[in-house]
Amino acid sequence: MSINLFFVLILGLLIGMYGYFSPDDRAAQDNREIPKIELTDFTLYEISHKRIDHILEGKEGKKFDEYYVITSAKFSDNTKNLFQTIRSDNADYRNNIIKVDGNVHYVREDGLEFRSHEGTYDSKASLIRTKGAFVITQNANHVEGTALNYNTEHDTVSADHVRGSYQLK
């Protein structure tokens, strides 16, 4: 074997090893955000010096830098005049705004209930919004419609395509 052929084979082997073991550029381009905390079957309490203000429960939860993503979510708010809870299949909680999706169910201490497929709840402004269909019930009262804007603090509602029955006392 000639010395030139030997060095050509070594060079080919080294080039092959470099190609096989070189870093993959696709891994460096992956910009997915990685959760800081992942929880399963959890309950988080926000406690002030007076009471428990908020309770956040879920089956699976991921906390990122600025927000939470939760499945089988339940958010309870004890900071308003009436205790209230909102549940959904999925929730995205950021900046005191909860975006809920799938089997949304809002319940207030006085018996008022609200159901929809999607919506948002701004806990600071006490405002529930939904673009799709909704149903509100309380005692014998029943209201259906679309595009709900409901202020839970002032108990005011605006919506589109409203139908329902309301019992006057």
pLDDT tens-digit map of 134-146 = 999 988 889 899 9
> Domain 37-165: which topology?
lipopolysaccharide transport protein A fold (2.60.450)
Which residues 6+ apart lie within 8 Å of 22 measured at CB?
Answer: none
Query: In whole angstroms, how large is the CA radius of gyration of the chain?
Result: 27
* 3-state DSSP assignment of residue 150: strand
What pTM, to 2 d.p., does this model score? 0.74
Domain boundaries, the chain: 37-165
- Distance separating alpha carbons of residues 3 and 10, to the nearest angstrom: 11
Tokens 């958010």 — which residue?
Answer: 75
pLDDT (0 to 100) of residue 99: 94
